[in-house]
Amino acid sequence: MKNNFLRSGLLLCLLVVGFQSHAQEKDDQYNVGDRKNEIRLDVFDAAFFSAIDLSYERVDDNAIGYGASLFVNFRDSDDGGYYENFAFTPFFRFYFFNKEDYGAKGLFVEVFSKFASGNDFEFFNNVEEEVDYFDAALGVAIGKKWVNKRGFMLEISAGGGRNIGLDDNSPEFTFRGGISLGYRF
């Protein structure tokens, strides 16, 4: 009887330790599904163009996200920087081929509008002059987003749009895209 009691006690201890270690493993993992907010920095712009492009995105469900980007350029366009000095870009995204529970990652298509001001170059009497502009644009971009279990992310995207012509001095087309690092919280 003492042998059966010892075996039962040992089995009970092993089961408790097994369940406890499994529960501990679950506690150490982060559930990205509860995270609905993302913030990103375009590292390509920051490294090569002395500009900051910060984005915020709200993940609505597995297939939809929406947010806005704020772009600020710190260099003049004649120094090799962007022709845009400032841009505010609201966007809406559709995610495709998403097989993960926490969603909003993978291939996406983005519809955006952009409100931008900057400097462009125009020819007046065969002389190139710098002119200021403000315009709005509508466009589409495509990209891919990777999110790990801790919430860190990498995103690559590219797209473009057409300015709607609020200002005669603005360029005809606009670009949107880059390589971004971020965090989902």
Element (DSSP H or E) covering residue 10:
helix 2-28
Q: How many domains does the chain have?
A: 2
Residue carrying the six token digits 């090569």: 48
Lowest mean pLDDT segment, chosen from 24-38, 47-61, 113-127: 24-38
Residue 10 is part of which domain span?
1-30
**Phi (first) and psi of residue 83, to 5 degrees:** -80, -20
Residues 25, 85 share a domain: no
pTM of the predicted protein model? 0.76
Residues 125 and 43 in one domain: yes
Assess whether pLDDT exceeds 50 at residue 22.
no
**SS3 category, 44:** helix
Which run of H or of E encompasses 68? strand 64-73
Q: Could you tell me if 12 and 60 lie in one domain?
A: no
**pLDDT higher at 21 or 148:** 148
Asked if 106 and 64 sit in the same domain, the reply is yes
The mean pLDDT value for 18-35 works out to: 52
pLDDT in tens, 79-88: 656 789 999 9
Do residue 113 and residue 174 come from a single domain? yes
Do 19 and 72 reside in the same domain of the chain?
no
For residues 25 and 47, membership in a common domain is answered with no
Structural contact between residues 39 and 69, judged by C-beta atoms closer than 8 angstroms: no
- Look at 110-119, 140-149, 167-176 and tell me which has the smallest mean pLDDT: 167-176
State the pLDDT at residue 9: 52
CATH number at residue 127: 2.40.160.20
Over the stretch 166-180, which tens digit does the pLDDT of each residue have? Answer: 888 888 999 999 999
Q: What is the pLDDT of residue 137?
A: 97
